[in-house]
């Protein structure tokens, strides 16, 4: 007895299986993984918008923040309360803020001293270095540190600039040719 498969039912069954499989994965990824992570940070002070992007080895949060945001608090909340969804993935915050030309220029001038302090692992010098430079320019500086990053917030009036510097100097990426 020879089994003869009809082409149309096989193709329809294959297409339906693919739609169910990939559609289910997409719904799971969106509803059970990305949405809870997005909601976790969306209600934090200073966060205007947030989007979570999960990949195999990393969770990237695209954040739009204002001057009240505390990046160290956002990172801590993401890694502790979002641990169920994040697992062993690396967490990365991509921060967009309302910077100004003055803040950008000021940061580029201060960067050499910060890079030197980072390279020599003299992290305690960073707040003093930045506060000394900002003293007479109307710029407020907030620098915080945890076990992986140094978080810097520069504020001038309604404008703010945020920087997250990895404590591993090889990953800092300060120079354009890296």
Q: What SS3 string covers 63-82?
A: EEECCCCCHHHHHHHHHHHC
58, HSE (Cβ side, Cα atoms, 13 Å): 7
Q: Sign of torsion, CA 73 78 84 90?
A: negative
**How confident is the model at residue 169, as a pLDDT?**
58
**How confident is the model at residue 16, as a pLDDT?**
87
**How confident is the model at residue 1, as a pLDDT?**
61
**How confident is the model at residue 99, as a pLDDT?**
92
Measure CA of the first residue to CA of the last residue in the chain; give whole Å: 67
Residue numbers of the chain with a pLDDT score lower than 70: 1, 27-34, 169-178
**How confident is the model at residue 29, as a pLDDT?**
65
**How confident is the model at residue 144, as a pLDDT?**
94
Give the pLDDT confidence of 150-177 residue by residue, as tens digits: 999 999 999 999 999 998 756 555 544 4
**How confident is the model at residue 173, as a pLDDT?**
54
Please name the residue that has the structure tokens 């000021």: 106
**How confident is the model at residue 176, as a pLDDT?**
46
- Cα(65)–Cα(69) distance, rounded to whole angstroms? 6
- pTM attached to this predicted model: 0.77
**How confident is the model at residue 43, as a pLDDT?**
87
């Amino acid at each position: 007895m020879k089994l003869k498969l009809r082409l149309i039912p096989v193709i329809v069954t294959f297409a339906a299986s693919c739609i169910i499989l990939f559609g289910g994965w997409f719904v799971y990824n969106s509803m059970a993984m990305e949405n809870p992570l997005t909601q976790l940070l969306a209600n934090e002070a200073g966060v205007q918008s947030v989007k979570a992007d999960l990949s195999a080895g990393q969770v990237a949060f695209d954040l739009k923040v204002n001057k009240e945001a505390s990046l160290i608090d956002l990172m801590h909340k993401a890694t502790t309360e979002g641990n169920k969804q994040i697992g062993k993935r690396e967490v990365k915050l991509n921060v967009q803020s309302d910077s100004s030309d003055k803040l950008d220029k000021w940061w580029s001038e201060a960067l050499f001293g910060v890079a030197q302090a980072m390279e020599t692992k003299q992290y305690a010098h960073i707040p003093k270095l930045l506060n000394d430079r900002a003293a007479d320019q109307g710029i407020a500086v907030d620098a915080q540190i945890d076990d992986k990053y140094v978080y810097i917030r520069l504020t001038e009036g309604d404008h703010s600039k945020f920087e997250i510097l990895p404590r591993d100097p090889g990953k800092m990426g300060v120079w354009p040719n890296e």
